[in-house]
Amino acid sequence: MLVSQLKNADGSITVVVREEGQGGRAVKGAASLHALAMEAADAGKSLKDVIDAHGLGDAVDVERAYAEGRLLSPITHPDPGHLHLTGTGLTHLGSAATRDAMHKKTSEAAEETLTDSMKMFRMGLEGGKPKPGEKGVQPEWFYKGNGTQAVAPGAALTSPSFAADGGEEPEMAGIYVISSKGVPFRLGFAVANEFSDHVTERVNYLWLAHSKLRQASFGPEIRIGKAPDDIRGFSRILRDGKVLWEKPFVSGEANMSHTFANLEYHHFKYGLFRQPGEVHVHMFGTATLSFGDGIRTQKGDVFEIGADGFGLPLRNSLAVAEEETVEIKQL
């Protein structure tokens, strides 16, 4: 089941469900996906059961709504400050050749010669997939912002005026709500563009936190349920309507050094992230970047990311913000 949201002329939201390759239907009496998810979490029911109980109404052409700019992020919160955009890195093995090379390097190199990134990667290889009942190693973790930084599918990702770069990161994101009793519940997974400033990150790894404080986009649809072990997708950049760069990307636990469960645990182990009613969009990393191939993006480029079984591809153009004067005043 794929779930999306579109905005109506009166400001209300229509929640749309469909199966891959089929038309959409509106969920009756649904104020938002957040409302449906909280209803399910607090009642101890599956999201599908709650949707079935509401029933389906009018047919909805999701692709047309997308083209008309009427799609919202597939989940939103009434107060954007209660939606969290977070992520984790150094979690993917990459291609088979890269995997072999990295295994060899991390197993043969002396500990003192490894970069912090390679040390973190090796920790994931050795402890990212714990046995049942055990706790695995914690990953690299970063914060991107709250719901004010979430950009709807089809809208522009805006790079700050002070940024050195604005580049895509094709990733899978887990989508979660916290029940009224403080229990995290996963709705499912969505394609995401974990938009970042790779030039700033490359200057010094301690600037990673700065480089990640950027907008992000996810969707247009959430695939309800567990993620496949092997996810195959594509990432491309279009400039002036032509493909500038394109590569496949892989995700899913078959292509990762961590399990999703281990990454989820090390996020939600913090009570800070188990506040009732809040929404979490947690991005799980990637091994594919245009920046790694020497691509420098520019204003007007269009990012397109998609994956088999996850619905319509995610499209966002690149915009650059005007410079602002920031003045700190004394009270």
Between residues 70 and 103, the one the model is more confident about = 70
Three-state secondary structure readout of 144-186: EEEHHHEECCCCCEEECCCCCCCECCEEEEEEEEECCCCCEEE
- The one-letter amino acid at 53: A
Structure tokens belonging to residue 66:
């997308």
pLDDT of residue 310: 98
Structure tokens belonging to residue 154:
């089809």
Q: By the 8 A CB rule, do 204 and 164 touch?
A: no
From residue 71, how far is each of 5, 11, 36, 241, 258 by CA, in Å? 6, 12, 18, 22, 32
* Main-chain phi, psi angles of 13, to 5 degrees: -115, 140
* Angle, CA 218 vertex, CA 180 and CA 74 arms, to 5°: 50
Q: Is the pLDDT of residue 28 over 50?
A: yes
Mean pLDDT of 157-161: 98
Q: Is the pLDDT of residue 113 over 70?
A: no
What value does the mean pLDDT of the chain take?
93
| Conformation bin of residue 35: beta by default, left when phi > 0, alpha when psi is -120 to 50 | alpha
For the four alpha carbons of 197, 241, 309 and 37, in that order, the dihedral sign comes to positive
Parallel, antiparallel or unpaired: strands 24-27 and 170-178: unpaired
The pTM (predicted TM-score) of the whole model is 0.94
Mean pLDDT of 258-265: 96
Percent of the chain predicted with pLDDT > 90: 85
From residue 267, how far is each of 84, 151, 174, 228, 264 by CA, in Å? 11, 22, 11, 21, 5
Between residues 205 and 148, the one the model is more confident about = 148
Q: What is the pLDDT of residues 31-76, one digit of tens each?
A: 999 999 999 999 999 999 999 999 999 999 999 999 999 999 999 9
Q: Which residues touch 171 (CB under 8 Å, ≥6 apart)?
A: 87, 191, 192, 193, 194, 251, 283, 284, 285, 286
Q: Which residues touch 70 (CB under 8 Å, ≥6 apart)?
A: 6, 7
Q: Is the pLDDT of residue 315 over 70?
A: yes
Q: Which residues touch 262 (CB under 8 Å, ≥6 apart)?
A: 128, 129, 130, 135, 136, 137, 139
pLDDT of residue 98: 44
